[in-house]
Amino acid sequence: MATAQKSAGDSRAAVKRQAEGADALVARGRALEAEGAYQEAQAAYEQALQRDPAHPEALFRLAYHHELRGSIEQALGYYERLAEMEQPYEGALLNYGLLLEDEGRYEEALEVYRRVLRARPGHRRARMFYQDAEASLEMYYDEEQARRSDRRNAILRIPITDFELSVRARNCLNKMEIRTLGDLVVKTEEELLSYKNFGETSLQEIKQLLAQKGLKLGMFRDEPGALSPAALPAAPAAPPADAVTELLGRPIAELGLSVRARNCMERLGIRTIGELVDKSETELLGVKNFGQTSLQEVKQKLAAHGLSLRQD
């Protein structure tokens, strides 16, 4: 008898849950969250979306849960659905923007912050996040350009002797004192052909060699000095010991870090440059919203003073 009553009670509870609306399910999810029952809370939010696929709070709570657990793709999916709404939560948009930044999607993040600012031009946090994302975008392009430049310079330093050339072509280049690909690409076809014993066959051989590396004759003709290894930027010299001691005691603000990087410094309680260099890359990357872009920014700022982070 007792078993039958329990079974009937369970059935009634199941029917009641099925009859619950989205708002009630979200309220139940929040209550479960307060009790620390996060998996059950997530299930309640998912049920709420089955009742109402556009329920803003259910979407927001699921996005937030997935973000905390590191399920970034799922979190982005829920935030994107929220952003498509006519009047989404401002907090949801800001979270979405920060997550896009962490994924390196700065232009999309800027558009999200613009949306908040169009509705509330004086929104302080949105304005701060916008400025930070804009700075990160510029830094991202600078890093890409620097990487491309480094790759190009490495190629231009390759000695001509590393390539299989005919004896005639090799001898001509040697007599013209062309030692590297960088020396070669500043020459024009006319200059090579004007040299004694350098003919069309040797010219085609040289052009094919350069094409293999994505180069051609006459490149950077207006700036030949820029291709010389001696003209490439050198690493900054380490400052004297007394200067280092004085530098390490300076406030972190003197590095001119972006808003995002400064906020991370505050979370770690870092007040001076000396406290920063005592941190490792792993420690910095463990701070929320501190990604590879911020790490590269910090390393570049320190390197400009001949300093670096502590090794892991």
- pLDDT band for 28, please (50, 70, 90 cuts): very high
Phi and psi torsions of 35, nearest 5°: -90, -5
pLDDT digits (tens, 9 = 90+) for 216-260: 887 655 444 444 444 444 444 445 556 667 888 888 888 888 777
Percent of the chain with pLDDT over 70: 79
Tokens of 130: 């916008």
User: What pLDDT is attached to residue 99?
Assistant: 83
**Yes or no: domain 20-142 corresponds to CATH 1.25.40.10:** yes
For the segment(s) 160-231, the CATH number from 3.40.50.280, 1.10.150.20, 3.40.50.1820, 1.20.58.190 is: 1.10.150.20
Q: Is the pLDDT of residue 4 over 80?
A: no
- pLDDT band for 305, please (50, 70, 90 cuts): confident
Higher pLDDT, 78 or 144: 78
User: What pLDDT is attached to residue 3?
Assistant: 53
Q: Name the 3-class secondary structure at 251.
A: strand
* Matching fold, domains 20-142 and 241-303: no
Range from 43-57, 143-157, 173-187, 295-309 carrying the lowest mean pLDDT: 143-157
Interhelix angle for 106-119 vs 124-156, to 10°? 160
pLDDT digits (tens, 9 = 90+) for 31-62: 998 888 888 988 999 999 999 988 988 888 89
pLDDT digits (tens, 9 = 90+) for 99-121: 888 787 888 888 888 888 888 88
Enumerate helices (H) and strands (E) in the chain, giving the number of each. 17, 0
Q: Where are the domains of the chain?
A: 20-142, 160-231, 241-303
Q: Is the pLDDT of residue 93 over 50?
A: yes
User: What pLDDT is attached to residue 19?
Assistant: 47
- Its pTM stands at 0.43
Query: DSSP assignment, residue 280?
Result: B
What CATH number labels 241-303? Answer: 1.10.150.20
Mean pLDDT of the chain: 77
Stretch 75-90: mean pLDDT, rounded? Answer: 84
CA distance 88 to 94: 11
Q: From the CB of residue 283, how many other CB atoms can be counted at a distance below 10 Å?
A: 14
Please, what sign has the CA dihedral across residues 206, 207, 210, 211? negative
Phi and psi torsions of 225, nearest 5°: -65, -25
User: What pLDDT is attached to residue 24?
Assistant: 92
Task: Dump the DSSP string for 105-170.
Answer: -HHHHHHHHHHHHHH-TT-HHHHHHHHHHHHHHHHHHHHHHHHHHHHHHHHHTSBGGGS---HHHH
| Contact between 181 and 155 (Cβ < 8 Å) | yes
